Amino acid sequence: MRMLDIIESKKLGRKLTDEEIQFFVDGVVSGEIPDYQTSALLMAIYFNGMTDSEQTQLTMDMMRSGDHLDLSSIDGTKVDKHSTGGVGDKTSIPLAALVAALDIPVPMISGRGLGHTGGTLDKLEAIPGYQVEISEADFKKQVQNQRLAIIGATGNIAPADKKIYALRDVTATVDSIPLIASSIMSKKIASGTDALVIDVKTGAGAFMKTLDDSRALAKALVKIGQGVGMDCMALISDMNQPLGDAIGNALEIKESIDLLKGNGPADLLDLVLTLGSHMVVLAGKADSLEEARTKLEGTITDGSALEKFREMVVAQGGDGSVVDHPEIMPQAKYQIELPAKQSGVVAEIEADEIGIASMLLGGGRQKADDKLDYAVGIVLHKKIGDSVSEGDSLMTIYSDTEDIEAIKDRIYQNIKISDSATASTLIKEIIK
């Protein structure tokens, strides 16, 4: 078999055979296929797509290129959630605690942020002592005993994806639905979960800017999951404006704790309860979404979700007193208000630009090895549809420097105040 013929085939829009896909993945991992041929095939896939069966084959070959976690020793149906990433998306943190409080095992393997989107691991590392790198044995023990763990990838998960993703990043082939879907699902299948709820973001702050593209990605993800016997569904949620009010690592942990205490912002709470209800039903702990939602709400009112979160923090080496004293996390030197320049209704808050503003304050990475400032970020006081009077604070900017004029200008350019606003629904579609 020759890589040249495989590239030629995809260039002409033909379906690759299982053997050809396996030859490609094996060659990428062994290093026998040079980067220029891999890149050429990725571009051909970008333009000509892949059939469902090609996507499943690519996913499984990438999954088999590395370790596969066996979680069968843990009691109960293991349920995970994956989000395609957004601004202010701290959902995993309170969600894992709510679901685990119902005695459902939640083994979460999460990632770091890059660019304008935040990463769950970075947020958790704002808690003094919290360790995201724990051994596979400790991970399993924790999920068995505490029913939840949120960690970084252990061992060698899907090394083929690591190599292919690095090349996609520099060859303008990241935003290809078959490549995104196989990349995400190879890692999720390798992580050993029984069931998966996927939150596909749509809008300005998301990978997929249009509902059509988001729907196509959601369908591809679910099809791959179901094709390998995983209980899997997706929902599409809005990422035109940031989720919740807080953007920034420590600020998002504080907002997650507030939610667990019953004081979360309405949009974040709605998304957490919706995703959580699907997880509870997939785990077989409720017969209907309504019953599941009521049970989850109960874990907030009786305090058990908050205690679950504390248990996880302590089990992973963190300071559990963060729950009562979020101020033990790094605090920014300055809190700077951003007043509205006119009266009206907030019509747009461009999520990607607010994410970039938080990154420029030091809360996100511009390069993969950048150090983060956990304290900085933004807390929104107005969301789309809210009325404002001139001079009202639109947001508080948490900064370690007073000189943030360029960042303020950037934010002003990306918040629109008009006479009216079109309300955007948070949850757009469910894909099963």
Rounded Cα distance between 214 and 84, Å, is 10
Q: How far is the CB of 132 from ligand URA (least distance, A)?
A: 17
Q: How far is the CB of 82 from ligand URA (least distance, A)?
A: 9
Helix 405-413 / helix 351-358 crossing angle, nearest 10 deg: 170
Position of tokens 């789309």?
384
Rounded Cα distance between 168 and 138, Å, is 33
Q: How far is the CB of 243 from ligand URA (least distance, A)?
A: 17
What is the dihedral sign for C-alpha 219, 188, 274, 384?
negative
Report if residue 183 touches ligand URA, rule: CB under 6 A.
yes
Rounded Cα distance between 354 and 377, Å, is 9
Annotated catalytic residue within 187, 201, 215, 365: 187
Residue 395's alpha-carbon distances to 246, 253, 349, 381, in angstroms, are 10, 18, 11, 5
- Of 166 and 406, the one with the shorter C-beta distance to ligand URA is 166
Annotated catalytic residue within 39, 65, 183, 237: 183
Active site includes 168?
yes
- Of 148 and 179, the one with the shorter C-beta distance to ligand URA is 179
Interface with ligand URA (CB under 6 A), residue total 5
Report if residue 224 touches ligand URA, rule: CB under 6 A.
no
Report if residue 375 touches ligand URA, rule: CB under 6 A.
no
Rounded Cα distance between 55 and 22, Å, is 12
Report if residue 180 touches ligand URA, rule: CB under 6 A.
yes
Q: How many residues does the chain have?
A: 432
Active site includes 82?
yes
Provide the pairing of β-strand 231-238 with 427-431.
antiparallel
3-state secondary structure of 148: strand
Degrees, nearest 5: CA angle 115-117-119? 110
Residue 150's alpha-carbon distances to 86, 102, 133, 134, in angstroms, are 18, 17, 9, 10
Measured from each CB, the residue nearest to ligand URA is: 183
- Of 115 and 284, the one with the shorter C-beta distance to ligand URA is 115
What is the dihedral sign for C-alpha 152, 199, 115, 355?
negative
Residue from the set 93, 98, 150, 184 that interacts with ligand URA by CB under 6 A = 184
Annotated catalytic residue within 81, 116, 147, 168: 168
Rounded Cα distance between 390 and 343, Å, is 5
- Of 200 and 296, the one with the shorter C-beta distance to ligand URA is 200
- Of 188 and 308, the one with the shorter C-beta distance to ligand URA is 188
Degrees, nearest 5: CA angle 221-223-227? 120
Active site includes 116?
no
Q: Are 7 and 39 in contact (CB under 8 A)?
A: no
Active site includes 187?
yes
> Of 64-72, 118-126, 175-183, 349-357, which part binds ligand URA (CB under 6 A)?
175-183
Contacts with ligand URA in 147-166 (CB under 6 A)?
Answer: 165
Position of tokens 């630009």?
353
Position of tokens 């956990």?
374
- Of 5 and 212, the one with the shorter C-beta distance to ligand URA is 212
- Of 183 and 249, the one with the shorter C-beta distance to ligand URA is 183
> Of 94-102, 177-185, 189-197, 235-243, which part binds ligand URA (CB under 6 A)?
177-185
> Of 180-188, 323-331, 338-346, 358-366, which part binds ligand URA (CB under 6 A)?
180-188
Report if residue 272 touches ligand URA, rule: CB under 6 A.
no
Which sequence positions are flagged as catalytic? 82, 161, 168, 183, 187
Binding-site ranges for ligand URA (CB under 6 A): 165, 179-180, 183-184
